[in-house]
Structure 1
Amino acid sequence: MSGETTGYDAARTEELEGREGIRKRPGMFVGSTGERGLHEMVFQVLSWAVTHVLAGHGGGSVDVTLTRDGGVRISGDGPVTAARDTGGTGLETLLTSMPTATEAGGRLIVNLGHGRMGGELFVANVLSSRLTAEVRCGGTRRVQAYARGVATAPPAAMGSAAGSGTTVTFWPDTEIFETTRCSFALLAERFRQVASLNRGLGLSLTDERPEGGARAVSFRFPDGVRDFVAALDVEAGAVLQPDVIGFEREDSRMAGTMEVALLWNGSHQERIRSFANSRATRQGGTHVDGFRDGVAAVVTAYARAQGLPDAVGGFWADRIGEGLTAVVSVKLDHPEYLGATCELLGNAEVRDCVAEAVREHLGNWLRERPTQAAQVLDRILRNVPQD
């Protein structure tokens, strides 16, 4: 075939990413037209809202409401740039065109879905039967309405407003999606994760649809991923709550930060949850590899120092994970993912950075808490096959 029929030049790319291209191929942008794609669209808009809240002051809040008429309202109190948007800049541009490049910000960008970042508001606008965008800034509330990605009127002042922030309300298009009914339980679980991965962030979810009255949940975790690990342990049926080991570190070698928390309990299951820029990395990656390297190295070294059986046959590496619950979260300026699903982190330098930090912090914890360290080692030894 000639390059004419196979190439994707600028005009072809614009056609694919334009309004009609998105509506013809929604799966390219939200994954599917089923429930999974519906939730992906919600997560994409939420990613934008959370990113802007965290960029402002790090401790703001985002409120999400599932409205009785099938809409999704996402309101954040983050900073507003180019709020008086009447000339094709700021929020109006994000809603009506695909960005030519990924937004700058690196580790500050929160990615809650599975797609690429950039264009999330435009995609949601195009795949919604209608959308309203509200900006609160300078004491004024300005609103603009859209229908399937096209503005129905210019932005208009709609009265006064206190504080600053944005609200985007959209109604997923029944011509596109097989279902437009979001799952409260699925969204609530993901919101809990996101709040714990971003210390100080407040997230609330309100469902106005039940006939018996609205239901709501809200999340804010002052201890970050330590709270996440504690919750995972409770879900697994823990009766006594062991100490959660946790630390944070910034490392210029990987151009980012890490936050790690872990504990051992009495179960035989390993539960490790990993994230990169708040995106769930279900296939793991270099951050998980580094975590495992660090844990295996420090526990084996500590056991040898205590005169316990050596790591003959590599049993430490095989057994250390039993009963281990952990969350490994990294936030990188330039995350690199392997594979089409972006669920496997590939940044090579991350492995050594995480391993080194785990060796240091877990090693200190074992030395400073000999009673708890003995309990951890005793649990591992009970699972070691005897000669």
Structure 2
Amino acid sequence: MTAEVRREGVLWIQEHARGVVAIPLTKVGTARGSGTTIAFWPDVDIFGATEFSFDALEERFRELVFLNQGLEISLTDLRRPDESRSVRLRFPGGTRDFVGFLDGHTAASAPTDTIAFECEDPRMAGAMQVAFRWCSCPGERIRSFANSRPTIGGTHKMGFRDGMAVAVTAYAREQGLLTPMDPDFDADRIGAGLTAVVSVKLDRPEFEGATRGVLGNSEVRDCVGQAVQDHLGRWLKEDPERAAAVIDQIVQGAHRD
């Protein structure tokens, strides 16, 4: 592995082979701009397989660009000169664009625009990015991430669903769309037709399970839940026409059940 670092007008280089320094950090000349270039040849004894999938790399890099607003990644495959492939990934809208990507062709039938926000919360020593919208398609599509790492669930996802249920139920009761005898909407009912991205970045993430795919930080649930409740509750009051369409979709679904 070779690392080239351009910093303060100087080009530095360092090389490793199987964890052993082959060339120590050495000043090799002048440089313009700043940045780091990493080049490596995969070792079959370390990686197990040395054939990389362009599609898998593109999918993962796309996630990273969506989740880190302002990041841009270019991926080029030169292994077969007669079949070279290249893609440039840049999404200025961040998680808002991610939701649109996940919805694909269903966007035209969405009763709401994408609702998105980001904020920091010192109680969880981190920040959150949340984006979501309802469409006419059945099912719930929630993608969750912790420190840009995909998760299958955890306290950030639970907090998101908690906040959604509280905000929608409170608005429906305030507008008289639920009678005193009607039960609160649960998260499963509200999630019908919902596409969402929930991303948290934490100073001290805690994961559960052998695959470390479940976020366990208990304080994250309350923080994300409260933020979602506040932002969705505000949106429902500020856009009553679209709020009515969302509530109607949920109510009709409850009646069908």
Task: Provide TM-score, normalisation by structure 2.
Answer: 0.91
* Aligned partner of 1:267 among 112, 137, 146: 137
* Aligned partner of 1:382 among 235, 245, 252: 252
Write the mapping of 1:53-72 to structure 2, written as runs, cut at 5 A. none
SS across alignment from 2:81: coil
Alignment match, 2:169? 300
Alignment match, 1:342? 212
Within 2, Cα distance between the matches of 1:215 and 1:292?
40
CA pair 230-336 structure 1, distance change in 2 beyond 3 A: same
Q: CA deviation at 1:141?
A: 2.1
Within 2, Cα distance between the matches of 1:173 and 1:239?
47
The one-character-per-residue Cα deviations of 1:244-294 (angstroms, maximum 9, x if unpaired) are: 001111111111111111100001110001111111111x11111111111
SS across alignment from 1:365: helix
Q: CA deviation at 1:142?
A: 2.6
Q: CA deviation at 1:320?
A: 0.7
Within 1, Cα distance between the matches of 2:168 and 2:184?
12
Structure 2: which 5+ runs fail to align? none
In structure 1, give the amino acid aligned to 2:34: S
Aligned residues: 255
Q: CA deviation at 1:174?
A: 2.4
The one-character-per-residue Cα deviations of 1:139-180 (angstroms, maximum 9, x if unpaired) are: 232323333222334444444321122212111112344421
SS across alignment from 1:266: coil
Pairwise CA RMSD? 2.1
SS across alignment from 1:273: strand
Alignment match, 1:91? none
CA pair 351-144 structure 1, distance change in 2 beyond 3 A: closer
Within 2, Cα distance between the matches of 1:176 and 1:338?
26
In structure 2, give the amino acid aligned to 1:306: Q
Within 2, Cα distance between the matches of 1:186 and 1:170?
18
Alignment match, 2:240? 370
Within 2, Cα distance between the matches of 1:265 and 1:291?
18
SS across alignment from 1:212: helix
Write the mapping of 1:249-288 to structure 2, written as runs, cut at 5 A. 249-282=119-152, 284-288=153-157
- Residue identity over aligned pairs, in percent, reads 57
Within 2, Cα distance between the matches of 1:257 and 1:146?
35
* Aligned partner of 1:202 among 58, 68, 72: 72
Within 2, Cα distance between the matches of 1:261 and 1:386?
28
**Contact map agreement 2:169 2:184 (CA 8 A) in 1:** no
2:55 paired with 1:185: yes
CA pair 143-274 structure 1, distance change in 2 beyond 3 A: same
The one-character-per-residue Cα deviations of 1:22-55 (angstroms, maximum 9, x if unpaired) are: xxxxxxxxxxxxxxxxxxxxxxxxxxxxxxxxxx
Within 2, Cα distance between the matches of 1:309 and 1:173?
62
Q: CA deviation at 1:200?
A: 1.0
2:141 paired with 1:290: no
Structure 1: which 5+ runs fail to align? 1-130
Within 2, Cα distance between the matches of 1:356 and 1:146?
47
2:212 paired with 1:320: no
**Contact map agreement 2:163 2:226 (CA 8 A) in 1:** yes
The one-character-per-residue Cα deviations of 1:90-109 (angstroms, maximum 9, x if unpaired) are: xxxxxxxxxxxxxxxxxxxx
Q: CA deviation at 1:318?
A: 3.2
Please, which moves more after superposition, 139-148 or 177-186? 139-148
CA pair 174-302 structure 1, distance change in 2 beyond 3 A: same
The one-character-per-residue Cα deviations of 1:2-32 (angstroms, maximum 9, x if unpaired) are: xxxxxxxxxxxxxxxxxxxxxxxxxxxxxxx
